[in-house]
Amino acid sequence: MTKLGAGIAITGCGSAAPKARLSNDHLSQMVETSDEWISSRTGMKNRHIASWEETLSNISAEAAEAAIAMAGISAAEIDLIILATSTPDDLFGTACQIQNAIGAYKAVAFDLTAACSGFIFALITAAQFIRTGVYQNTLIIGADVLSRWVDWSERSTCVLFGDGAGAVVCQGIQGSDRLLGFEMYSDGSQNNCLNLSYQGQSKPLIEDVTVGSGTYRPITMNGREVYRFAVAKVPEVIEKAMFRANITAEQVDWLLLHQANQRIMDTVAKRLQIPEEKVLSNLAKYGNTSAASIPLVLDEAVRQGKVKPGDIIAASGFGAGLTWGAAIFQWGK
């Protein structure tokens, strides 16, 4: 066990995506849309879509193993696994399946749901366990298979989402702290902007006792409201986290936003006066992968050698709930 007051270091990352790709042209054959409409409004070109055999736990385990290997530890050394997802394989939780698949036998594992803010919320949650000295090695996974819950005949939503998984290893270190600042918010009054909600119908069991029997409805979204929310709240929450981190926007090496829409990312960067070459983006390849998008683009940038040890990253997730949050951290040991 680490001493109370341990610092945080993010020492490994990994990602995985299902094999099949769905391009804007493919979507144009399914609904009334076009490559021009989708790419000009969102920046998306392709997304990866999971087959029935490619489960959330499979892609999460693949991302997790890559992150653990990069961190240079073994799965048996992991103390805590938090899986951020809104699309579990099992509503009782999927983190335990991943724990078993990767052989992290010592780790306690649980799911956390905060939609597209899930990865940031999970990272911050794991950091609290490290800071209090309870755990040393934590694995944070962001993964979603939203394709299971998209109405593929609804053009306003089906063009936006893709599937994927990303993971990081976050460890306790003595003498310094690479998690420089964070902030998290929720606003349930705007909950109806973005939903994947259960819809039950009354089914009588016996006289005076009924149950709500049904399933989850496909994703519904008020795109304009979500857009307005994102461009207003994301710059604000990053500014607050930068204030806590005692840094200015000029000191930020990389802006790492939830990959919802290129126009949202460009607007946030402009408001923060962060130049576009510092904005990490891969949504042209993956679309919006919800809780996976931040660790997925981070992993790509680290493996490409763009993000280097010591670089300061301003990361922000935002989405259903509504929820939003930011974490400022330095990459690496």
Residues engaged in binding ligand ACO (CB under 6 A): 33, 37-38, 41-42, 115-116, 155-156, 159, 194, 221, 223-224, 226-227, 260-261, 288, 290, 319-320
**Which of 142, 140, 163 is closest to 71 using CA atoms?**
140
For the stretch 165-193, what's the b/e string if a residue is b when 16 or more beta carbons lie within 10 angstroms of its beta carbon?
Answer: bbbbbbbbbeeebbbbbbbbbeeeeeeeb
Give the C-alpha separation, 196 to 221, whole Å. Answer: 9
Instruction: Give me the least distance between CB of 302 and ligand ACO, in Å please.
Output: 22
Distance of CA 205 to CAs 32, 157, 212, Å?
44, 37, 10
End-to-end CA distance of the chain: 19
80 or 320, CB closer to ligand ACO?
A: 320
Active site residue 100: no
- Please identify, using beta-carbon distances, which residue of 122 and 226 lies nearer to ligand ACO: 226
Residue 258: active-site member: yes
The DSSP code sequence of 206-239 is ETTEEEEEEEEPPPEE-HHHHHHHHHHHHHHHHH
At its nearest, how many Å lie between ligand ACO and the CB of residue 189? 17
* Tokens linked to 160: 């936006």
Q: Supply the minimum distance, in Å, between the C-beta of residue 111 and ligand ACO.
A: 17
CA 140 centroid distance within chain? 10
Determine which one of 46, 258, 261, 282 is catalytic.
258
Element of type H or E holding 156: helix 155-158
Q: Supply the minimum distance, in Å, between the C-beta of residue 328 and ligand ACO.
A: 21
Q: Which of 13, 116, 158, 193 is catalytic?
A: 116
At 37, give phi and psi (nearest 5°). -60, -50
Nearest distance in Å: CB 284, ligand ACO = 14
| 170 in catalytic set | no
- Catalytic site positions: 116, 258, 288
